Copies of this chain bind each other. A is one copy, B any other.
Amino acid sequence: MRISELSRRTGVPTATIKYYLREGLLPPGRPTAATQAQYDGTHVQRLRLIRALAEVGGLSLASIRRVLDAVDDKSLHVHQLLGTAHYALGPTVTAPTDDPEWTAVRDEVDAFIAELGWQVTPGAPARDLLTQALLALRRLGMPTPVDDLRPYADAARSLATRELARLPDDVGQRDAGRRDAVVAETVAVTTLYEPVLLALRRLAQEHESALRFREDLCTEEDRAQ
C-alpha cells in the first residue's frame, strides 16, 4: 500500500509517518519510485504499536525507541523484553543520594519484596517508584506501614500470574512470526493494562464513594432546599 493508505488505515497523519520513518522508528517501505514506497501489514502493526505506546502508555519517543529496539533485537528473551518495557514506562524516579529517610524507606521496600518471596532485580525501577510513594504518604502524616501494601501486592500478584500465563509457552528465537506475536502481547500487557487498572480503580472508587456518601449528600441538598 502507499503511504496515504497506511495513513488512512492507522489514523496516523502522513507527516507523522514520515517523521517516524526519518527517525527510524518505522522501517522503510519497499521503494517503487524515486519518491514512492510500498508498505505492508507489518508497517500497519508497527504504527499501531507506536501510537499505543505514545497515547495509551504515555511513553516519550525516546522511550518508544528503546522498546522498539528491544522488540527488534531477536537475541533478547521475552523476560528481558519485559524488563526493557518496565524501564521505558516511567515515571523515572531519581533516588536522592543523601536522604536518610529515603534510604530507610527503600530498605523497608526491599525487605517487603524479599518477604513476599518475589525474584526481582535489585535495580528494578519500580522499587524506587514504590519508595517514593510510600515516603510521600508518610511525610503527609499517614503512617502507612509497609504491611498496608499487602492487599495491593496480592492483587498485583494475582493479575500478573494471569497475564504471564497468557503468553504462549514456546517463546524463543526459533519461530520469527510467533516471536513477533508474543513480543507484541508482552509489550501490550505490560503497558496497556496499566491504564485499564488505573481507570477501573478510579471508577470503583467513585462507586464506593457514592455508596458511602450519597446519603450524606442528599440529606445536605434536601436541607438546603
Q: What residues of chain A have their CB less than 8 Å away from a CB belonging to chain B?
A: 11, 45, 48-49, 51-52, 55-56, 58, 77-79, 82-83, 86, 89, 91, 99, 113, 118-121, 124, 126-127, 129-130, 132-134, 136-137, 139-142, 149, 151-153, 155-164, 167, 171-172, 184-185, 188, 190, 192-214, 216-217, 220
CB pair A118 B204 closer than 8 Å: yes
CB pair A140 B78 closer than 8 Å: no
**Copies of the polypeptide in the assembly:** 2
Most chain-B Cβ atoms within 10 A of its Cβ — which of A48, A203, A217?
A203
Known: A137-B188, A164-B212, A220-B77. A153 touches B202 (CB 8 A): no
Known: A158-B155, A213-B77, A216-B77. A132 touches B195 (CB 8 A): yes
CB pair B136 A78 closer than 8 Å: no
CB pair B203 A156 closer than 8 Å: yes
Separation of A78 and B154 alpha carbons in the complex (Å): 28
